[in-house]
Structure 1
Amino acid sequence: MADEPVTAESSDQRDWATFDTLLDVTVNIIPMGILLFFVGLYAVIRPWNWDPGMFVLMHFLTLFPLLLLAVLTYVSARAIASDERGI
């Protein structure tokens, strides 16, 4: 029994994306929108002179936290959904 592979049903794959779970992680979705706004703003308007080093650093400092926040939001949504189901 312990050597049997664990398989998930197809409906189990999407059980975490319920309205209640998405409402719980809205706290992380709003800052992601703010970060995306600044990425778009600084891609169009450059308040500093054109410097490739500054451009890369500026976008790294917004995109890297955005990536980390997206991963954190996904993991927390899965944890919230599994806790609500009692798994």
Structure 2
Amino acid sequence: MSRAAFDSEITLDLAVNLIPLAIMVFFVALFAVFNPWGVAILQSTIQFAILLSMIATLGFVTYYAARVIEGDERTHHDVAEPELEEH
């Protein structure tokens, strides 16, 4: 299989992790810049610690899954043109 097609397959397989990761990063950035409830040191620290640990964990799991998918022999297919039988 061509490398570009294989990369698109990995992207599709990992989209289930990349979409929530992007959502979490968006909200962490949003609440870091604009916090409508004010800043309370303890609550904000706990909030960001939980979210950042989830982002780090999901990022690691996504990276590990990509490595496993890439190294799996079942995902490497030969896409050479089939030979036509001559009569």
Question: Do the two structures share a fold, i.e. TM-score over 0.5?
Answer: yes
Aligned residue pairs total: 70
Segments of 5+ residues of structure 2 without an aligned counterpart are 1-5, 78-87
CA distance, structure 2, for counterparts of residue 38 and residue 54 of structure 1: 16
- List aligned pairs for 1:27-42, cutoff 5 A: 27-42=16-31
Pair member with larger Rg: 2
What percent of counterpart residues are identical?
33
Moved over 4 A (4+): none
Secondary structure at the aligned position of 1:40 is classed as: helix
Normalised by the length of structure 2, the TM-score is 0.71
Deviation at 1:85, TM superposition (A): 3.1
Segments of 5+ residues of structure 1 without an aligned counterpart are 1-16
Normalised by the length of structure 1, the TM-score is 0.71
2:57 to 59, 68, 85: 68
2:9 to 20, 24, 29: 20
Deviation at 1:50, TM superposition (A): 2.1
Deviation at 1:49, TM superposition (A): 3.1
Query: Root-mean-square deviation (CA), in Å?
Result: 1.8
**Corresponding residue for residue 80 of structure 1:** 69
